[in-house]
């Protein structure tokens, strides 16, 4: 069991590292410009599947653009939106959850009511409504997804803090004259980090799927920026004639989400005190 948990962390981590490498080194890895149109080579099948143009490994789309290059550049948007949203939503949710759980009373009641309001709306529906109001753009999609995802961090951290603040070491810190801010930063925050890390890994997978969904609906980033969701949207009209237009972007989303979920599941097993005792 221990070896299997380590394997999940390793395999998921390698997939995530591969996504980061593709995003950072996209200009050096991609064989072509993702926006360059070659109408004479439109809808070419992959080279290994009998394509006439052997230089296109994953084929071309309806405008003759290289699918492989667009998938590589699309990892940039997924990585940027996923990582930034997780960081911003995590900071907002952890701060509100920590303050609500530690001080309690009126602060806790106020934060709880706000979280209930956000939980009343389905996650993706709220993101669609915010994007329809804000408009297209990378910054707007990050803000929309952040406002939809901070609640999960808040609830997890609040529950952790409610348990931690009654522990003996917190009582000892108060007796020694430690300020509330110091206790939150020095004693409580490090003890909530394992739970927040697990939540963040699963949340990043959900954010990547949400970004692809919004781009598929035309509410994500502008059309001239290659994303996996927009590639799926453009290829759905050619599913019977050129299925590779949707197969390969779909596989990219599947592998990325699978790797991140595998990493999160492995981290959850490693940080679970029950499994450690067993």
- Looking at the DSSP bridge assignments, the partners of residue 66 are 60
Confidence category of residue 213, pLDDT binned at 50, 70, 90: confident
Residue 9 confidence (pLDDT)? 82
Confidence tier at 4 by pLDDT (50, 70, 90)? low
Query: What's the pLDDT score for residue 24?
Result: 87
Q: Is the pLDDT of residue 88 over 70?
A: yes
Listing DSSP states for 33-97 in one string gives: -TT---GGGTTPPPGGGT-S-TT-TT-B-TT--BHHHHHHHHHHHHHHHHHHHHHHHHHHHHHHH
Q: What's the confidence (pLDDT) of residue 139?
A: 87
Contact between 61 and 42 under an 8 Å Cβ cutoff? The reply is yes
pLDDT per residue as tens digits for the range 231-260: 888 888 888 888 888 888 999 999 999 988
- Report the C-alpha gap between 20 and 169 in whole angstroms: 40
pLDDT-derived band at 51 (thresholds 50, 70, 90) equals low
Q: CA torsion sign, 39 to 45 to 46 to 47?
A: negative
Task: For the chain, report the end-to-end CA distance as a whole number of angstroms.
Answer: 10
Q: What is the pLDDT of residue 160?
A: 87
Supply the mean pLDDT for the chain. 83
Q: 229 phi and psi, to 5 degrees?
A: -65, -45
Burial of 158 (0-12, 13-18, 19+ CB in 10 A): buried
258 or 270, greater pLDDT: 258
Distance CA 266, CA 278 (A): 16
Q: What is the largest CA-CA distance in the chain?
A: 78
pTM of the prediction?
Answer: 0.84
Superfamily of domain 2-34+56-277: MetI-like (1.10.3720.10)
Q: Is the pLDDT of residue 275 over 70?
A: no
Q: Which two tokens stand for residue 110?
A: 């106020």
Mean pLDDT of 113-131: 83
Q: pLDDT value at position 127?
A: 83
**Coil, helix or strand for 154?**
helix
Task: Give the pLDDT of residue 56.
Answer: 78
Q: State what percent of residues in the chain have pLDDT above 90.
A: 4
How confident is the model over 87-112, as a mean pLDDT? 88
Does 273 have pLDDT greater than 60?
A: no
pLDDT at 148: 81
Instruction: Take residue 3 and report the two structure tokens written for it.
Output: 């070896």
Q: What pLDDT sits at residue 3?
A: 62
The tokens describing 84, both together, are: 């930034």
Look-up: residue for tokens 């950072």? 24
Residues ≥6 apart with Cβ < 8 Å to 273: none
pLDDT score recorded for residue 178? 81
């Amino acid at each position: 069991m221990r070896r299997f948990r380590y394997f999940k962390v390793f395999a998921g981590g390698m997939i995530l590292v591969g996504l980061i490498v593709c995003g950072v080194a996209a200009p050096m890895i991609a064989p072509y410009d993702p926006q360059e149109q070659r109408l004479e080579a439109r809808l070419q099948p992959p080279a290994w599947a009998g394509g006439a143009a052997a230089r296109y490994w994953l084929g071309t789309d309806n405008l003759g653009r290289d699918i492989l290059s667009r998938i590589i550049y699309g990892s940039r948007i997924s990585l940027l939106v996923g990582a930034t949203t997780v960081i911003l939503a995590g900071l907002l949710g952890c701060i509100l959850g920590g303050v609500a759980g530690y001080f309690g009373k009126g602060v806790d009641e106020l934060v709880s009511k706000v979280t209930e309001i956000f939980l009343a709306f389905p996650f993706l529906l709220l993101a669609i409504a915010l994007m329809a109001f804000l408009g297209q753009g990378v910054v707007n999609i990050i803000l929309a997804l952040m406002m939809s995802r901070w609640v999960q961090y808040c609830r997890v951290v609040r529950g952790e803090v409610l348990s931690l603040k009654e522990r003996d070491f917190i009582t000892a810190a108060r007796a020694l004259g430690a300020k509330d801010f110091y206790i939150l930063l020095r004693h409580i925050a490090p003890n909530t980090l394992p739970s927040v890390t697990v939540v963040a890994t699963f949340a990043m997978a959900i954010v990547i799927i949400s970004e692809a969904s919004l781009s598929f609906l035309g509410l994500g980033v502008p059309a001239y920026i290659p994303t996996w969701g927009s590639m799926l949207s453009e290829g759905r009209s050619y599913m019977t004639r050129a299925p590779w237009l949707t197969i390969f972007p779909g596989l990219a989303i599947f592998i990325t989400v699978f790797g991140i979920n595998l990493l999160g599941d492995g981290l959850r097993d490693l940080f679970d005190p029950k499994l450690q005792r067993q």
